[in-house]
Amino acid sequence: MELHLEQSIIELKELLRLDDRDGLHELLDYMRVQDIAHALMELGEADLTAVFNMLPPGRKADVFAYLDSAHQIRLLESSPRDDARFILSEMEADDLTALLQTLDADTLRGYLRLLPFRAIRRALKQLNYPEDSAGRVMSPDVVAVDPDWTLKRALAFIRRNADEHSNNVIFVVDQDRVLQAAVPIRHFLRAAADSPVRDLLDDADPITIGVSETAVAAARKIQHYDLETLPVVGETGELLGVITVDDVMDVLEAESTEDFHKMGSVGSLPLSPDAASPWLLYRKRVGWLIGLVAFNSIGALMISQYEEAIEALVVLVFFLPLIIDSGGNAGAQSSTLMVRAMATGEVTARDWLRLWGKELGVSVGIGVTMGLAVSLLGLWRGGAEIALLVAVAMTLIVAFASMIGMLLPVILSRLKLDPATASVPMVTAIADLGGIMIYFSLAVAMLGLATP
């Protein structure tokens, strides 16, 4: 399937090069809307607009929903006002909210003026929910039936609202729209038409998510309970909307991307590196790197305190990068595993003591193994004393760095900070400082060198 899509993109670009409009129309008619959206994002500015404008109005709206926000904005800016109004009016509520929340205030007001009043009210209501909340990503277009209706009446109601009902469960609400149950549609089809909906309800409480809870929490519930749709409820239990599997896939992708950016000391990058401007990439990266330079300069000052020891035994310098970098690598591994486990909910900050003991045992084992390996090199370069020094130093530094990598995300979580900010560069920098102190302190103590 992937190969087929790539072939379609190649063919599309070739038809554009030849200016074969008939061929382009034929190819676009054949392609799925998701594939067209993917292909459009591979094109340059002029070709993007040209190909998009070749689509019929209905297909334009369908393709538009699968584009990322950067390409959506480009197309809206280049489209006539009436076309932009049609596209925005045809968008699903959750997709429209996802687009609008990326805009600055002035641009947002301009786009809201293109929408009918009902759509404006609905969009503003969703934008009023906290950022990254379930309310921001839910679809408010949800069909629900009354428990006192007959199944015949309920199914007729669902048929009349088929455009808004796109899941395999039917929600049952009372007069105050408080959610009573989420009943699989197959139960409606098997029961007698004149029996009441109430007969299909069981005693189990429906699985829901609060409108102000995080979208990530909603994604975890859908994954844990193997749901296709998750109802979103207000403070009194009233049904406000639903979150579907495709919604949470977008949430998890965005969350994973943000975590990777933070772990790389880039911060939260709203665009892909390809779409982001050089100035944005510079600003997102330079601050952390300058800070780490200042932090690492402490390591240089620490090394300068051991000049006499280095002069007395130059071989110490040979092993310094090897041992310190090994500690940093071990710390980076530990940090990555911990941040990922906390992000997926597999562990929490409350598990720190159990994990501390486990990580200590593992890291010491790794350190001893690496220490034995490097001791052979130490024996060759400096004899038995150096071999023992580098073996002990490697063991202690790897254990220290691994513990830092495991504990730092836990500490940040306890401080209500994002554990992903325990990035690899930060852990490595701390491990480097600790490693320098451990290595030279051991050298002074074990080899009887001059003290700093």
The string of pLDDT tens digits covering residues 300-352 is 677 767 666 666 567 778 888 888 888 888 888 888 778 777 766 677 767 77
CB 419 within 8 Å of CB 409: yes
d(CA 158, CA 164): 9
Q: Which two tokens stand for residue 383?
A: 């004899």
d(CA 137, CA 101): 11
What is the arithmetic mean of pLDDT over 85-97? 86
Range 144-251: architecture per CATH: Roll (3.10)
The string of pLDDT tens digits covering residues 350-403 is 777 777 788 888 889 998 998 898 888 888 877 888 889 889 999 999 999 888
Reduced to 3 states (helix: H, G, I; strand: E, B; else coil), residue 172 is strand
What is the arithmetic mean of pLDDT over 63-74? 89
Check: CATH 1.25.60.10 for 2-128? yes
The pLDDT value recorded for residue 293 is 65
What is the arithmetic mean of pLDDT over 53-61? 88
pLDDT cut 90: percent of the chain above it: 17
Query: Which residue would you say has higher pLDDT here, 336 or 47?
Result: 47
CB 181 within 8 Å of CB 206: yes
- What pLDDT band is residue 412 in, cutting at 50, 70 and 90? confident
Alpha-carbon torsion (347, 350, 353, 356), positive or negative? positive
d(CA 210, CA 219): 13
The string of pLDDT tens digits covering residues 25-40 is 999 988 999 999 999 9
- What pLDDT band is residue 286 in, cutting at 50, 70 and 90? low
The string of pLDDT tens digits covering residues 258-275 is 555 555 544 554 545 555
Domain ranges of the chain: 2-128, 144-251, 278-447
**Statement: residue 149 has pLDDT above 90:** yes
Query: Which residue would you say has higher pLDDT here, 43 or 275?
Result: 43
CATH of 278-447, one of 1.10.357.20, 3.20.20.70, 3.20.20.100, 3.30.428.10: 1.10.357.20
What is the arithmetic mean of pLDDT over 274-279? 59
What is the arithmetic mean of pLDDT over 199-215? 90
Cα atoms found within 13 Å of the Cα of residue 430, Cβ hemisphere only: 18
H helical segments located in 305-314? 307-312
Report the relative pairing of strands 179-184 and 169-173 from DSSP bridges: antiparallel
Q: Provide the b/e sequence for 291-316 (b: ≥16 CB within 10 Å).
A: ebeeeeeebeeebeebeebbeebeeb
The pLDDT value recorded for residue 232 is 95
d(CA 336, CA 114): 45
**pTM score:** 0.60
